[in-house]
Amino acid sequence: MTQKNLQSKLLPAVTLSDADSALKIAEALLKGGLNVMEVTFRTEATAPAISAIVQEFPEMQIGAGTILSPDQLAVARDAGAQFGLSPGFSNPVTKKAKELDFPFIPGVMTPTDIETALNAGYKTLKLFPASDMGGINYINSLAGPYQHTGIRFLTMGGINETNLDSYLKHEMVISAGGSWLCPTDLIQQKKFDEITAVARKSVKLANNI
């Protein structure tokens, strides 16, 4: 589930305050070679921003992030998001995602989380916060008991250009993401050309791995 939504090795996580900035950011990421982005449900502008991007840039795949309640799933889907993500695992949220037939990536942190996700039928999982849990060493520890199950991780939390290669080289990692791909300070300063430059550099790094 949802691996088709993560054909890119990179997933920018973006928190938006208005729809106008959303379009500028989406355009900047596309110019930088990224056609997928996560828009987090942390502001009232999230749903309008997703709708605006979908209408203006249909080639951009939109993931609705920080989904914490079942109600947000319906809002995200109706806004045009193609998949959803959460920082943790919630039974009500994952059940609702299946009811809506909405591709979803639940968050996991511990072996218990992973086994709960597996039993619920999820194999593409967001490992968060990856670096705080031990980074690639932690993933190596998880590989023994879980790699044979077919689970794959979208790793987020503390990932950047300096450690990106260690994550993407691991067989259990399908993609890596975070706000480093679309820095908040550049968004606030409306430096969209610099966002394009960051995206382009990161895409080049990922493609060389």
* DSSP-assigned letter for residue 96: H
- For residue 155, pLDDT beyond 80: yes
**Domain membership flag for residue 4:** no
CA distance readout (Å), 21 to 49, 165, 196: 8, 30, 14
**Domain membership flag for residue 42:** yes
Residues 6 or more apart whose CB falls under 8 angstroms from that of 20 comprise none
**Domain membership flag for residue 166:** yes
Q: Total structural domains in the chain?
A: 1
**Domain membership flag for residue 2:** no
**Domain membership flag for residue 32:** yes
- For residue 137, pLDDT beyond 80: yes
Q: Please state, rounded to an integer, the average pLDDT across all residues of the chain.
A: 95
Q: What is the set of active-site residues?
A: 38, 126
Angle value at C-alpha 149, between 90 and 92, nearest 5 degrees:
10
**Domain membership flag for residue 156:** yes
- Averaged over 137-141, what is the pLDDT? 98
The CATH number of the domain holding residue 57 is: 3.20.20.70
pLDDT digits (tens, 9 = 90+) for 99-114: 999 999 999 999 999 9
Q: Which domain holds residue 110?
A: 9-207
